[in-house]
Amino acid sequence: MISPLAYIHPEAKVGENVEIAPFVYVDKNVIIGDNNKIMANASILYGSRIGNGNTIFPGAVIGAIPQDLKFRGEESTAEIGDNNLIRENVTINRGTAAKGKTLVGNNNLLMEGVHVAHDASIGNNCIIGNSTKMAGEITIDDNAIVSAAVLMHQFCHIGGHVMVQGGCRFSKDIPPYIIAGRDPITYSGINVIGLRRRGFSNETIENIHNTYRIIYQSGLNITDALEKVEAEVSMTPEIEYIVKFIRSSERGIIK
């Protein structure tokens, strides 16, 4: 299962039933779990932690040092969960002193050429399109879809169940359950199709819709709009998530 043409550092830990193709490089201080497939010319570098059941395609580089001039060689990791598809030429840098780790959860698809910068955090069940680039310390919540060639400013937060149009760039947060698109990027409605596919009820979708009508169409400032939401919309977990997300946003949300 491990090609003699691959390099595996003697201190690396490799689990059971792992397939490693020719010309793969596995550095020291690397832990690879069970049932992974690592294709030719992938590099798994110092500080990488790979879970179980992942497929890593040719040319991917996991655990390279951050592209951050403040990095001084501190110990940090790039941690990948389970059952991810990491396609060709994806780069996932390890963390810095800021957070110490870069995180990719479970069941994600990172398409060709995606870059995940230092200290970023990607949740579960996300799809990240070809050539999308994430700056340092971004956060993407579960079940988000970010289309191709999207540019994400550092520290931005993308909420769960969003759909981000291809080719967008943004420097503010994108709240949950919406579609974000156009140029410049803006709120473009809620992600109705995605929510239905995920099993959200019509009542829940209508509550989300009513919440965003208040936030984006009432003419109120954000503080007053959130107070109106709390007064007028049934506070289900989904609505609580929206309110908490926006209140905690340090960069502000897209318009």
Residue 244 pLDDT: 98
> Domain span at residue 234?
195-247
Instruction: State the DSSP string of 86-122.
Output: E-TT-EEE---TTTSEEEE-SS-EE-TT-EE-TT-EE
At 43-83, the pLDDT tens digits run 999 999 999 999 999 999 999 999 999 999 999 999 999 99
**Total of domains in the chain:** 2
User: Same domain, yes or no, for 130 and 212?
Assistant: no
User: Same domain, yes or no, for 21 and 124?
Assistant: yes
Query: Which CATH number characterizes residue 69's domain?
Result: 2.160.10.10
Residue with tokens 């700056």: 135
Choosing from 87, 116, 137, the residue where a domain stops is 137
Res. 94 pLDDT band, cuts 50 70 90 = very high
Choosing from 137, 154, 169, the residue where a domain stops is 137
Residue 132 pLDDT: 98
Check if 153 is active-site: no
Check if 173 is active-site: no
The active-site residue out of 27, 68, 82, 119 is 119
Choosing from 137, 159, 180, the residue where a domain stops is 137
Residue 92 pLDDT: 98
Residue 97 pLDDT: 97
pTM summary value: 0.96
The active-site residue out of 33, 68, 118, 160 is 118
At 132-160, the pLDDT tens digits run 999 999 999 999 999 999 999 999 999 99
Check if 51 is active-site: no
The active-site residue out of 136, 159, 160, 194 is 136
Residue 53 falls within a domain, yes or no?
yes
pLDDT (average), residues 245-255: 97
Q: Which of 100, 107, 153, 97 is nearest to 128 (CA)?
A: 107
Percent of all residues in the chain with a pLDDT value above 90, rounded to a whole number: 100
Helix (H) or strand (E) holding 45: none
Res. 195 pLDDT band, cuts 50 70 90 = very high
